[in-house]
Structure 1
Amino acid sequence: MKDTQILSAFHELAPAPAEPGLGQVLVFDACHVGVVLRAVLFVEAVVAVGAMFGTTTAFGWLTQVSLLTGGALPATLLWLIIACSLKKGLARLNTPLQHLAGVLLGALAGLYGCGVLSMVGVLDPVPWLASAFMGALLSAVLVAALVLRAKGKTPAATAARLTELQARIRPHFLFNTLNSAISLVRAEPAKAEAMLEDLSDLFRHALVEQGESVTLANEIALAQRYLAIEQVRFGDRIQLEWALDPRASSARLPPLLLQPLVENAVKHGVEPSANGAHIRISTECRGSMVVIKVTNTVPAGQGERGHGVALANVRDRLSLLHDVQGQFQSGCKDGVFQVRIQVPR
Structure 2
Amino acid sequence: MPTSPRSPVADTGAADLGAGLNSSSFPATEPEPQGLPPLFDPKRVFDVCHVGVVLRALLATQAGLALGMGLAAANPGQWALLTASGTVVSLTALLLWLISVCALQRLLARLGRTWQWLALMGLGALSAGLGWQLLMLVSPESDNLFRQSIVMLTGAAMAASLFYWLRQRERMQRPAHATARLVELQSRIRPHFLFNTLNTAIALVRVDPHRAEEVLEDLAEVFRVALMEGGEAVSLEQEIELARRYLAIEQIRFGERLRVRWELDPAANQARVPPLLLQPLVENAVRHGVEPNEGGGDLLVRTQVRGSEVDLTITNTVSGLASTPGHGMALRNVRERLRLMHDVTARFEARREGDEFRVHLVIPR
The normalised TM-score by structure 1 is: 0.84
Distance 1:111 1:302 in 2: 67
Distance 1:130 1:304 in 2: 65
Structure 1 residue 144: deviation in Å? 3.2
Distance 1:153 1:208 in 2: 24
2:147 partner letter = P
User: Once the two structures are superposed, what CA deviation does each residue of 1:205-245 show, in whole Å capped at 9, x if it has no partner?
Assistant: 12211310001111011111111111111111100001112
Structure 1 residue 173: deviation in Å? 2.1
1:69 partner letter = T
Tell me the residue number matched to 2:58: 40
1:80 aligns with 2:112: no
2:226 partner letter = A
User: Once the two structures are superposed, what CA deviation does each residue of 1:174-227 show, in whole Å capped at 9, x if it has no partner?
Assistant: 222222221112211222222222222222212211310001111011111111
Tell me the residue number matched to 1:108: 126
1:130 aligns with 2:130: no
Tell me the residue number matched to 2:315: 295
> Comparing 31-40 with 249-258, which one deviates more in the overlay?
31-40
1:219 aligns with 2:233: no
Distance 1:161 1:167 in 2: 10
1:343 aligns with 2:363: yes
Q: How does 1:169-188 map to 2 (within 5 A)?
A: 169-188=189-208
Structure 1 residue 25: deviation in Å? 2.3
Tell me the residue number matched to 2:346: 326
Structure 1 gaps of 5+ residues are 1-13, 16-22
Q: How does 1:151-170 map to 2 (within 5 A)?
A: 156=176, 158-170=178-190
> Comparing 269-278 with 325-334, which one deviates more in the overlay?
325-334
Distance 1:223 1:157 in 2: 24
1:218 partner letter = Q
- Residue in structure 2 matching 1:30, options 27, 41, 48: 48
Q: How does 1:6-17 map to 2 (within 5 A)?
A: none
> Comparing 158-167 with 283-292, which one deviates more in the overlay?
158-167
- Residue in structure 2 matching 1:284, options 290, 304, 311: 304
Identity %: 48
Contact 2:183 2:333 in 1 (8 A): no
Q: How does 1:240-251 map to 2 (within 5 A)?
A: 240-251=260-271
Distance 2:266 2:106 in 1: 30
Distance 2:303 2:225 in 1: 22
Tell me the residue number matched to 1:50: 68
1:228 aligns with 2:248: yes
Aligned residue pairs total 327
Structure 2 gaps of 5+ residues are 1-34
- Residue in structure 2 matching 1:274, options 279, 294, 303: 294
> Comparing 115-124 with 134-143, which one deviates more in the overlay?
115-124
The normalised TM-score by structure 2 is: 0.80
Distance 1:258 1:148 in 2: 31
Tell me the residue number matched to 1:11: none
Tell me the residue number matched to 2:259: 239
1:40 partner letter = L
Distance 1:190 1:153 in 2: 48
- Residue in structure 2 matching 1:252, options 261, 264, 272: 272
Distance 1:128 1:302 in 2: 71
Contact 2:288 2:323 in 1 (8 A): no
Contact 1:25 1:147 in 2 (8 A): no
Structure-2 change in CA distance of 1:115 and 1:205 (3 Å): same
Contact 1:304 1:337 in 2 (8 A): no
Contact 2:240 2:278 in 1 (8 A): yes
Structure 1 residue 121: deviation in Å? 4.3
Structure 1 residue 153: deviation in Å? 6.6
Distance 1:302 1:94 in 2: 58
1:142 partner letter = L
Q: Which structure exhibits the higher relative contact order, with contacts defined as CA atoms closer than 8 Å and separated by 6 or more residues?
A: 2
> Comparing 83-92 with 184-193, which one deviates more in the overlay?
83-92
> Comparing 69-78 with 207-216, which one deviates more in the overlay?
69-78
